[in-house]
Structure 1
């Protein structure tokens, strides 16, 4: 009788190809087939669009104005993807492939780090745990710079893990990952990675050696081009914009004196991690508990735990907090969870396995049910309810979407039965990853046209364009957000003159953003409303276009 296939057996080619296929099935859906969505995708695409239109990659520009919140690595890379793939895809889809590129790097280097820390059998488990994390699912497919930041952190952590064996190569990876993180979101990545690299030899004896110091020197040299070229070019272009980026959007945003971003709840990440980092967090806690007598003397655990605690401390100290910012914490948690999988108690592994199969299977079934209801009109009450939520959606069968969703469902059923030959504990992690991937594939195929109908600004801007007078000088705007300004430029080629930054501007048209519950009156007796609109199904935002009476 043949031995059952072991998921953690590195000689098993079938499991390697299964993992590669699963990663592709997780990464690819959602990258194409929909418009830029509010809020983060829309304004990110506006910055990318400016690079494509102007060729200027030094000063990030949104809606005709400098936007110095983040360095431009993601935007530059996305512009290159746009140039390469726009012959076959809409421009916004071509640029969104950048997210898939950076997420592939993040998964690759996280798997390499898991293999380096715990042995060849655990790299795959680390990747399965990571793609199974609930918090990564949506954010890991959006057109946002945080995916590049995640890739930089994964590369840097791999460099730290490799330093015990090949310090020169490890230094290159650490420095490059730090540089990618810096060029993605500024000082936060060098700060966290640098603090982690310095704390390890200060706190733990194992990391104190001559090679480690040479390793840090190599890492510094490798990071230097990333840390200096763009900031120098920005400063030479405009010292004022450099100050706005460095002082206001880095230090000011973190310390709070710039009054940017949402106000911070310093317990925010403690509150969200139980669901955001599921299932990595509970398995990581089990790893610590199960090896509590010896694990803190292991350099592998010292690295992953120190990295996580530094991230948690730095993010919690920041003056603003969003669940988006917690993405990097999933990396050390997944790495710390990997060795705990094989030691899970029988009941815990079985609970995770059945929870994954039943929960994600049920959610997938619900998606299929509601898709059938919309297409067929039965049950009528459910179909009508969904169409009321998205009045801009016209039910149609997309043959390709249907085929992909059906194949994914059949593949999930096959893997669920095939996995019964695997040991119980790895099987639970596999079913968790495949279950969440199935839900995502169905959401980004069957439900994608319905979602896109309500999240896109395209129909609203087209409606506004039709109301524009044949002749007008310029359009000013009031309270108009960054996503809306970006989409106005993309869909209509309109750059508004914001009243917040253009004092005394006299345009003959005025676009106002407000709330549907508190409609804006005309800004003065000389203005007449000529258009009112909103995104289909959006009950909060409302827009008004006013025309000035001729003098």
Structure 2
């Protein structure tokens, strides 16, 4: 280790990193953001149907009514589809449509990191400005979800902007009002009118406990926020109403009012303790440092706005998610921002033993991840070690190994740069945070470069759809469907240009001579007798999710 350090360590580089840790963190965050945004097909569930609606915009130039495989899809508002369609159009010369669309998620993540840094600078300044987004990027729960094309990433950006608006409002009411207004508006036109209530909750919470938010200046901020948010929120619903009133009221009643009502109705399916249960791993390593920050601030510190705002924000978001009863980890993303803000101030007074322990823990984890990635790559692509290669082959027997020099060179360069960074970091309290996030980043990079081809072969619907459409004549009038869900419908449209009609729509589906079903079709016997099965398939290695194609018997065709 000493001889390696002597070769890699350069005093001038070491001094520069020590003097400019913020610039190193910017590089790490940018690298983290865009690695993994390209190079794989849309994966279910969230990415597949989100891209499916984006594809509807690109194919039909329908910018008002979200369409998934030619059918209205109103579960989320329009912003995620518009932004992803825009990046897909701008980058279509360089990337496939799905990769270009996914790049919009990276741009929204930049907004998240930027406004997290702004909030930390406003609350505490100094090293917290770059530590807060660095800790956020190092959060385990954000690693995969932060690289997916989903409305929740845009909602996260809205939360980050709103928190900054609240942080700056006591000092600059107009700027604060603009931040709150845009934050609420972006949140509302990303996931709908229900989720932004968690923002309203922490605004009301701060007004309740802090006199700084019960002044005329803050009322000015609220007024400005209202004047900005209301028109922005109303634009798309107005155009939807003028385009199709039935769809507008479906969106308003089913996906907003009924969803709000369901929050207050108890159900056996509610998972009230889900988010508390996932926090220990989901928010690692932010939560232990946040707890230490609270310990440091005990007593008079809790009366300071700088401490109150992250606490109230976290409690408000957790309360809303818990009461809603919906247990999905992607919904917990907003919890990471206030925890990262609190964690960023803990490094000022953290004991040396604790920061050294975290440093070595991060180092050991990263060495394990890097070694594991290279070992798995060797097993998958080179069948060495043989026993591990057989394990991967058993799990995915249809994968064809194709090792490339580009993969090996890119992975090796990334590993070398990471090692060089580790050996050129001086000892200072924030070093452990840099080591952790850089290690998480290099681990993700190696997964993307070395293992994504194998992972994508398991998760993609491309090969299944390509095989399916070969059994359907090109001049077929229509294909009806049974139990085909939104992600699969989107991928049928994208990979096979295949639009299906629900069998419940008797007027249209009775004309169809082909029927696609997920799982065994348990219809009435007299109906089954009219059809013959001509194809069965699914994703490679997936024996649970099976699809069946039926064709009407000759004497039953219209």
1:545 paired residue among 538, 545, 549 = 549
User: 517, 522, 535: which is aligned to 1:512?
Assistant: 517
CA distance in 2, matches of 1:520, 1:288: 60
**Per-residue deviation at 1:5?**
5.9
**1:402–1:255 Cα change, 3 Å:** farther
Report SS of the residue matched to 1:71. coil
Counterpart secondary structure, 1:143: coil
Deviation per CA, 1:22-77: give whole Å up to 9, x if none. 01210111111111111111111100000111121221111221111010101001
Corresponding residue for residue 311 of structure 1: 317
Which deviates the most, 465-474 or 104-113?
465-474
What is the CA–CA distance in structure 1 between the aligned matches of 2:253 and 2:412, rounded to whole Å? Answer: 51
Alignment partner of 1:31 is 2:37: yes
User: d(CA) in 2 for partners of 1:470 and 1:215?
Assistant: 59
2:102 equivalent among 96, 106, 111: 96
Tell me if structure 2 keeps the 8 A contact 1:178–1:223. yes
Do the aligned partners of residues 29 and 262 (structure 1) sit closer, same or farther apart at CA in structure 2, a change above 3 Å counting? Answer: farther
TM-score (norm 1): 0.94
Say whether the 8 Å CA contact 1:179–1:224 is kept in structure 2. yes
Assess, with a 3 A threshold, how the Cα gap between structure 1 residues 500 and 319 changes in structure 2: closer, same or farther: farther
Q: 2:78 aligns with which of 72, 80, 95?
A: 72
> Residue deviations 1:96-136, cap 9 Å, x none?
10010000110111011111111132111101110110000
* 2:246 alignment partner, one of 240, 244, 248: 240
Task: Answer whether contact 1:256 1:320 (CA < 8 A) is retained.
Answer: no
Structure 1 residues 157 and 342: alpha-carbon distance in aligned structure 2, compared to 1, 3 A threshold: same
TM-superposition CA deviations, 1:497-533 (whole Å, max 9, x none):
1124556731110101027xx9999951111111100
Q: Is the 8 A contact 1:460 1:534 kept in 2?
A: yes
RMSD of aligned Cα (Å): 2.4
Confirm or deny that 1:135 pairs with 2:141.
Answer: yes
- Equivalent residue runs for 1:57-456 within 5 Å: 57-256=63-262, 263-419=269-425, 421-423=426-428, 425-456=429-460
Stretch of structure 1 that moved more, 295-304 or 229-238: 229-238
Q: Is the 2:370–2:446 contact (alpha carbons within 8 Å) kept by the matching residues of 1?
A: yes
| Partners of 1:178 and 1:189 within 8 A in 2 | no
Going from structure 1 to structure 2, the CA distance change for 1:6 and 1:167 (only over 3 Å counts) comes to farther
1:201: Cα distance to partner?
2.1
- CA-CA distance at 1:359 after TM superposition: 1.1
CA apart distance, 1:348: 2.2
**1:79/1:470 CA distance change after superposition, 3 Å:** closer
Distance 2:454 2:253 in 1: 42
Please identify, of 526-535 and 340-349, the stretch whose mean Cα deviation from structure 2 is larger.
340-349
Q: Is the 2:35–2:445 Cα contact (8 Å) retained in structure 1?
A: yes
**Distance (whole Å) between structure 2 residues aligned to residue 57 and residue 504 of structure 1:** 26
In structure 1, what is the equivalent of residue 8 of structure 2? none
2:464 counterpart residue number: 460
SS at structure 2 position matched to 1:467 = coil
Q: Aligned equivalents of 2:161 and 2:207: distance in 1? A: 20
Cα 1:428–1:181, aligned 2, differ >3 Å: closer, same or farther? same
CA contact (8 A) 1:255 1:319 kept: no
| Distance in 2 separating the partners of 1:210 and 1:301 | 22
Q: CA deviation at 1:308?
A: 0.8
> Distance in 1 between the 2:523 and 2:420 partners?
56
Q: Contact conserved, 2:170 with 2:212, CA < 8 A, in 1?
A: no
SS at match of 2:532: strand
Shift of 1:380: 1.4
Q: 1:293-330, CA deviations, whole angstroms, 9 ceiling, x for partnerless residues?
A: 12211101111111111100011111422111000110
How many Å separate the matches in 1 of 2:238 and 2:264? 23
SS at match of 1:532: strand
The CA distance in 2 between the partners of 1:26 and 1:299, in whole Å, is 31
Unaligned runs of 5+ in 2: 1-10
Contact 1:103/1:147 (<8 A) preserved: yes
The answer to whether the 8 Å contact 2:479/2:509 transfers is: no
Provide the C-alpha distance between the structure 1 equivalents of 2:437 and 2:181, rounded to a whole number of angstroms.
31
| 8 Å CA contact 2:501, 2:508 repeated in 1 | no
Change (3 A) 1:55 1:367: same
Tell me the secondary structure at the aligned position of residue 534 of structure 2. Answer: strand
**Distance in 1 separating the partners of 2:300 and 2:523:** 65
Aligned length: 543
Moved more, 378-387 or 533-542: 378-387
Partner of residue 50, structure 2: 44
Decide whether aligned partners of structure 1 residues 410 and 254 sit closer, same or farther in structure 2, where only a CA change above 3 A counts: farther
Give the distance between the partners of 1:348 and 1:521, measured in 2 at CA.
Answer: 66
Q: Is the 8 A contact 2:519 2:545 kept in 1?
A: yes
SS of the residue 1:541 aligns to: coil
- Find the residue that maps to 1:452 and give its secondary structure: helix
Gapped runs of 5+ residues in structure 1?
Answer: none
For 2:121 and 2:268, the matched residues in 1 are separated by 38
- 2:503 aligned partner: 499
CA contact (8 A) 1:253 1:320 kept: no
**Aligned with 2:470: secondary structure?**
helix
- Residue 22 of structure 1 corresponds to 28
Distance 2:16 2:299 in 1: 28
